[in-house]
A and B are shown apart, each in its own frame.
Chain A
Amino acid sequence: MKICAELALDSKDTLNQFLADIERRAFRMAKFASGSADEALDLVQEAMLQFVRRYADRPPEEWNPVFYRVLQSRITDSHRRTSVRKRFLAWSGRMDGKEDQEDPLQSLPDPANPNPSDHILRQEERTALEKAIRMLPLRQQQAFLLRAWEGMDVAQAAFAMGCSEGSIKTHYSRAVHTLRGLLEDIRS
């Protein structure tokens, strides 16, 4: 009985550690797709709840692709709903085009960085990259982030996105091509 309780505690700690490791990246991915911090938090919450309810019993080595599969599915659903809503609002003439404002604190210089010009340059690069990623079509964006950032191989990314490996290769290659074109400064 004691061993069971210890195992349960251990598995809860492992799950907590896993979720803590991915929550920020998951949030950023959701925000790239939705463009809204609040919506991104909702998406991460829905994904986490669904993940722990349905898939937490799976072996921990499977958690990463499974979690991203749940998250990507939520993002795709939300994207579809938002597209329909936008179309309706555009049709009814009530579109105000207001997007989430960036946190002003984020633009303050980092006191740990001794060279403010480096900091500003780096921040500009980051802003340009994030803007370019947001401009990608959703599937390309997802494939790129899973492969280039999350470090998944083609098979894992295909599982996470629920599509074929060939589609992943196509989406990823197009995304890299587009980003390289948009981010000449970063490339150099």
Chain B
Amino acid sequence: MNANDREKRFLEKVKDLLNEGVENLDSQTGQRLERIRIKALEASKEKRSEFFTPLRWIMVGGFATATMAAAALFFWLSTSPGDLPARHVEDFEIITSEERIDFYQNLDFYRWLATEENGEAKGRTT
């Protein structure tokens, strides 16, 4: 018999002895184990009905509210006045005025034109 066979026989005997230990378990322990199993099976039934308990609804509601508040805070901070295109008072004037936007884009040209025209008018008068 080689070492492998000896080890195999040894392990088989160990397994038999362990199984005997289980078979010879006293009846009191057997009954307690049965009660534990029945309790566990009842818990598995409760598990399904417990899914929509008031506590769970409160938790879900609280989580949803917290998420909404976080999202609102995020959007509010990301669109704060510091990032608006109209940072200065002049910009607000442009936005709120009824003039066409072309006018403001060519404002420098109109200013130059006005000074030119004013200069010519002064020359003519002198």
- Residue numbers of A with Cβ under 8 A of B are 12, 15-16, 19-20, 23-25, 27-28, 37, 41, 44-45, 48-49, 51-53, 56, 103, 105-106, 110, 122, 125-126, 129-130, 145, 148-149, 176, 179-180, 183, 186-187
Contact = CB atoms under 8 A, between A and B. Distances in A.
B25 A48 contact: no
A12 B43 CA distance: 11
A45 B36 CA distance: 6
A15 B18 contact: no
A187 B10 contact: yes
Contacts of B36: 23, 41, 44-45, 48
Contacts of A24: 22, 25, 30, 33
Contacts of A12: 41, 44-45
A183 B43 CA distance: 42
B113 interface: no
Nearest to A125: B17
Query: How many B residues touch the partner, as a band?
Result: 20 to 34
Contacts of B40: 19, 45, 48-49, 51-52
A37 B29 contact: yes
Nearest to B33: A23
14 contacts: A12-B41, A23-B34, A23-B36, A24-B22, A24-B25, A41-B36, A45-B39, A52-B41, A53-B43, A122-B20, A129-B17, A130-B21, A149-B15, A187-B10
Contacts of A20: 34, 37
Interface of B: 6-7, 10-11, 13-15, 17-18, 20-22, 24-26, 28-30, 32-34, 36-37, 39-41, 43-45, 47
A15 B37 CA distance: 10
Contacts of A110: 24
Contact of A53 (B33, B37, B44): B44
Contacts of B17: 122, 125-126, 129, 186
Nearest to A53: B47
A176 B30 CA distance: 29
Given A19-B40, A52-B40, A41 B18 contact: no
A126 B6 CA distance: 19
Nearest to A29: B18
B43 to A, nearest CB: 5
A186 B10 contact: yes
A27 B47 contact: no
B122 to A, nearest CB: 93
Contact of A25 (B22, B24, B43): B22
Contact of B41 (A16, A27, A145, A187): A16
A187 B6 contact: yes
